[in-house]
Chains A and B, each alone.
Chain A
């Protein structure tokens, strides 16, 4: 019961600090994008519009008001769920983000699972070979891995499995001809709900390469942190105690070593998940995956300010939500923090 109280307290505190952060971020976004040498009014009119028409449009869009007033109007609309209308796509930004965000979340979550598996396995292996000659080799190898960001991994995997061996698809979320069920927007989930097994497997195939790229790129830092936290944990007396009690090495590792070493790894994962969420942008472009990253880059190329603002803010909210979730998890798993 006390645990829930502490977690609830943490949640309230974190959400309360997130609000001013979001306000400042939105102001920052608004200012950066307002100093642009682009005129949104002229852009939303046909090229042959007269100067008077552009002026009228500017007045209508509120572009003649002082900056802080413009920001106030924008913020007020934001609270009513209206981030504006895309100039390029001629669609509401909310619906554009709503249709692309699930794809990105799906990608990020599965990639995180891949990273966790690789990170745990790699970290345990690095720990297992400690003090042997293999350690130096593995350590060197992990720096090698650290030098390949998700961006290069995606291209590399695409080249090997998509182009040279042609075993996996590498464009989009589905092959042509597959029916796309629409319930929640999460393709894997939707195809399972509607019982569309072929679509499920096709979608899964499309996700293998992007998720592997993101997951592998993230795992070396997890491996290294897990290894060093395991090394730290094994310095403590309770490990020696457990040995004296005659527990098997495996049991010591899982019940005593890992249980303590997982905490720093978890808090790193929280930070990394934020980075991963940003990293999906590149991976999406490389694999032509229709998520927020592609939307964002399209918007940037067309100087489509409402989308850039909306998507930027969405990324920011995502990072804040992730960090709050990870902090709560940390509290659940770490009894030391619960004692008042």
Chain B
């Protein structure tokens, strides 16, 4: 383990520009999500039926009360955008952690024990992969019913295979290492060998995958709320804003641009963080590839 004491230079991964960019973006989003009630100029659900589909403040006819205009029910677009970050980030963190835990567990079990355990887990993953993820998550949402908790559950149930597939091959490489055999010879239990000897080796890949998965989760949530299968209509979500704007595309094109940009911004943040982490944490990459 690295010890971070005073005067020690920053760890390599924090020096990467990509990681820094990603962290800054995620920090901005997190501030929006946590302090949404203080940052949003209006109540995101308050309908102002007298001023529907007003343009943003800089366009002709813009209202200073609604900096980014209003939607078809006269709700403030900026406020909904800010509150939408809550749903997006909640889903991003909880779903990716859940998918990671399940995926990593099965990957380690399959890769470590091999044999029939590996075979069974491999076949389960294969069945999952024969479904396009969007279709599977939609079907799961039909079965589970709408709501934030079920969105998270659906994403976990669909995306754990992403972790499982990639991590499994990493575990297979690691378990052939001498130090793993040494641990087994000393008499470490299977559980202890996996958590103490193998897990530290798969951790860099795991963290990278998780960062990418957060971006995927945000997209899936947006897709589900776009087709009306995510959180209820009383919770602001970016996908819902897109669905509403799609109906009024000629009257208020800007309403579409705002949530598209928000989703892109968030996904880009997680992707660039993931790419930065991959470059700096992957021990097999050469020094030149990292910079």
Q: Which of A112-149 contact B (CB under 8 A)?
A: 143-144, 146-149
> Given A24, A148, A286, which contacts B127 in the complex, CB threshold below 8 Å?
A24
B4: Cβ under 8 A from any A Cβ: no
Report yes or no: B130 in contact with A25, Cβ–Cβ below 8 A.
yes
Q: Judge whether A263 is part of the interface by a CB distance below 8 angstroms.
A: no
Interface presence of A161 (CB below 8 A): no
Distance (whole angstroms) from the CB of B145 to the closest CB of chain A: 8
Provide the bound-state CA to CA distance between A28 and B134, in Å: 16
A105 is an interface residue with CB less than 8 A from chain B = no
Which of B55-63, B95-103, B105-113, B256-264 contacts its partner?
A: B256-264
A window 265-310: CB within 8 A of B: 274-275, 277-279, 281-282, 285-286, 296-297, 300-301, 303, 308
Q: Does B14 contact A (CB under 8 A)?
A: no
Least CB distance from B136 to A in Å reads 8
Say yes or no: is A151 at the interface (Cβ < 8 Å to chain B). yes
Cβ distance A133 to chain B, nearest Cβ, rounded Å: 13
Residue of A nearest to B140 (CB): A32
Q: A33-B139, A151-B223, A297-B227 are in contact. Are A21 and B134 (CB under 8 A)?
A: no
The closest CB in chain B to the CB of A38 belongs to B142
A54 at the interface (CB under 8 A from B): no
Segment touching A, from B42-50, B195-203, B246-254: B246-254
B135 within 8 A of A: yes
Q: A35-B143, A36-B143 are in contact. Are A151 and B226 (CB under 8 A)?
A: yes
Shortest Cβ gap from B277 to chain A (Å) = 13
Contact sample, A vs B, 22 pairs, CB 8 Å cutoff: A32-B140, A33-B139, A143-B268, A149-B219, A155-B246, A156-B260, A158-B249, A163-B250, A274-B132, A275-B133, A278-B131, A278-B133, A282-B226, A297-B227, A300-B229, A303-B142, A312-B131, A312-B135, A315-B131, A316-B130, A319-B131, A320-B130
Q: Does A152 contact B (CB under 8 A)?
A: yes
Distance, CA A289 to CA B189, complexed state (A): 57
Q: How far, in whole Å, are A147 and B126 apart by their CA atoms in the complex?
A: 26
Report whether B142 and A285 are in contact in the complex, using a CB–CB cutoff of 8 Å: no
A29 at the interface (CB under 8 A from B): yes
Q: Please give the distance in Å from B160's CB to the nearest CB on chain A.
A: 15
Residues of B within 8 A of A29 (CB): 139
The answer to whether B132 touches A319, judged by C-beta atoms less than 8 angstroms apart, is yes
Show the binding face of B for A, using Cβ within 8 Å. 126-127, 129-135, 138-143, 145, 215, 219, 222-223, 226-229, 242, 246, 249-250, 253, 256-257, 260, 263-264, 267-268, 271-272, 275
Judge whether A285 and B133 touch: CB under 8 Å.
Answer: no
Q: How many residues of A contact B (CB 8 A)?
A: 46
B253 touches A164 (CB 8 A): yes
CB pair A279–B250 under 8 Å, yes or no, is no
B26 to chain A, nearest CB (A): 13
Q: Chain B contacts of A28 at CB under 8 A?
A: 127
Cα-based distance from A316 to B127 in the complex (angstroms): 9
Q: Inside 8 A of A147's CB, which chain B residues have their CB? A: 215, 264, 267-268, 271
Do B271 and A143 touch across chains, with their CB atoms under 8 A apart?
yes
A159 within 8 A of B: yes
Cβ-defined partner of B242 (8 Å) among A155, A308, A319:
A155
Q: Which 4 A-B pairs have the closest CB atoms?
A: A278-B132, A147-B268, A32-B143, A278-B134
Known: A156-B260, A282-B223. 17 other contacts (CB 8 A): A25-B127, A33-B143, A36-B143, A147-B268, A148-B267, A151-B223, A151-B226, A152-B260, A152-B263, A155-B242, A275-B132, A278-B132, A279-B132, A296-B138, A312-B131, A316-B130, A319-B130
Q: What residues of B have a CB within 8 angstroms of the CB of A281 in the complex?
A: 132, 134-135, 138
